[in-house]
Amino acid sequence: MRNKKTVIVSNRLPVRVERRNDELHFIPSEGGLATGLGSIYQQEGNIWVGWPGFVPENEYEEAITREKLAELNLVPVFLTEDELQGYYEGFSNEVLWPIFHYRLSYAVYTTENWHTYQEVNRKFAAVVNQQSPSEKDEVWIHDYQLMLLPQLVREQHPDIAIGYFQHIPFPPDEVFRSIPWRDELIKGVLGADLVAFHTYNDSQHFLNACTHLLGLPIQNNSLHVDGRSVYAEVYPMGIDFEKFSALAASEAIRDRAKEIRNYYKDRKFILSIDRLDYSKGIIERLQAFESLLKEYPELREKVVLYMLVVPSRDTVPQYRLLRDEIDRAVGHINSIYGVNEWQPIAYYYNSFPVEELSALYVAADVCLVTPIRDGMNLVCKEYVASKEHTDGVLILSELAGASKELLEAIQVNPNSIDQIREALKTAIEMPMQEQRERMQDSIEIVKKFNVRHWVKIFFNRLHEIKTIQKQEMAR
Ligand code: F6P
């Protein structure tokens, strides 16, 4: 008898295809999801369905990609430039992303993009269905780009186990209500048996939206949908703790961290790492750093802000504008406060390999993570996991999902320039003993609730829910 099959689905595959000089390169992702689910999708019979990150130019490229990815248990969903524009840039990142991050004024509603989002979700469903899942299989769908997919799969497979995980926040129902197609979106998600979020607030917002918009009554944390109980629950995602802690302990990384520190002449090294995104609070962080230099002139030449911004979604207008704004803000601070021997900000718009990130985490006295809204935020957890043997202080936004777990970080309101400035001052002056005690508490949490634990408890619960549903049907 065939064993149970697990199908993972996300917008992007954990391997990205790139065309360089007419040759295709297959680049594995270092991302948290890829690591966490590695042990699952790489098992024989299981697969991961998603977009391979490029548009093939001809059938040959498509066939080669399909073949190469199949060796890795990956199944590509090919998208055209028009589909990417309407589904990814247009609907996912110009409607869902801003609304779910409470930026109502950034949303651009067009019926055409909504239609493309629907079509692409159907395209994903067709690929999932081609894998001929049976009723004993399980499908785990990830994130807001695929909100319609759970129901599309359910229609073909009424009894299959479907999980949906939303990695970004779910806003209060009155904010969610702004989207003209909100009812269709929730109905799509409710095709799943288990709908999961990083925080309790997000799960409650989702449940409230189901009640207020669709009139579904809530029983504890579950809803009754078409004769099925659907559960909305909280599973905060972790990272691969062992990987970051082992990298940080390795000689090569420690040497590189020393080199970085020497280069910056042992000044207090403040680290900031984000994908380019207006939800990350990058401008406010720069303003707070400027305010620190202004209010505490004695710190000039004694601190460096190392800011890495990883290119992202730069075909979406709001992201291009943000990039220009960051360029201007960094230029302004460096030109006003910089002197020959010292530039206050070292700014990079680039993506670095994980080894370099690890060296930066080891080198950093302070890690400044101040998103205006963030589903979870894994940078802060990577910093903590890199700090088993070196000191450091984490400053964390209270509006990041991770703030619910990392209670020993210095927590700030990311909109308050004054709070971030004062937190920086406190972090820079924090006695070693206090740094160690606080970091130790955070390390224990990040170590215990790692990404493998997250995957395990999610699947355990999904199986449990299927059992509960069967018992309910039998009654
Ligand atoms: O965490 C949210 C998320 O949108 C993920 O779905 C995605 O993998 C990541 O951010 C990067 O975004 P993008 O795929 O748009 O580059």
Instruction: For 259-288, write each residue's pLDDT tens digit.
Output: 999 999 989 999 999 999 999 999 999 999
Confidence of residue 125 (pLDDT cuts 50, 70, 90): very high
Cα 224 to middle of ligand 1, angstroms: 30
> Strand, helix or coil at 436?
helix
Atom of ligand 1 nearest to the CA of 33: 8
Note the pLDDT of residue 298: 98
Cα 356 to middle of ligand 1, angstroms: 21
For the Cβ of 313 lying below 6 angstroms from any atom of ligand 1, the answer is yes
Closest CA to 322 of 168, 202, 313, 415: 313
**How far is Cα of residue 166 from the mean position of the Cα atoms in its chain?**
9
Confidence of residue 31 (pLDDT cuts 50, 70, 90): confident
Q: Average pLDDT of 233-247?
A: 96
Mutation test residue for ligand 1: of 168, 374, 379, the one with most atoms within 8 Å of CB: 168
Contact 199, 234 (CB under 8 A): yes
Confirm whether pTM is higher than 0.90: yes
Residue matched to tokens 């390169």:
25
Instruction: Give the residue, by CA position, lying nearest to ligand 1 atom 6.
Output: 143
Note the pLDDT of residue 4: 85
- Compute, in degrees rounded to 10, the torsion defined by CA atoms 213, 219, 222, 228: -90
Atom of ligand 1 nearest to the CA of 88: 15
CA atoms of 289 and 282, how far apart (whole Å): 11
Cross-sheet strand order for the sheet of 228-234: 74-76, 47-51, 6-12, 138-142, 161-165, 194-197, 228-234, 222-225, 218-219
Closest CA to 357 of 386, 330, 323: 386
Q: What is the DSSP string of 82-127?
A: HHIIIIIIIIIIIIIHHHHTT-GGG----HHHHHHHHHHHHHHHHH
CA atoms of 410 and 369, how far apart (whole Å): 10
Report the percent of the chain where pLDDT is more than 90: 91
Task: Give, in order, the Cα–Cα distances in Å from 434 to each of 16, 429, 431, 439.
Answer: 42, 10, 5, 8
Cα 209 to middle of ligand 1, angstroms: 23
pLDDT mean across residues, the chain:
96
CA atoms of 193 and 72, how far apart (whole Å): 28
Note the pLDDT of residue 84: 98
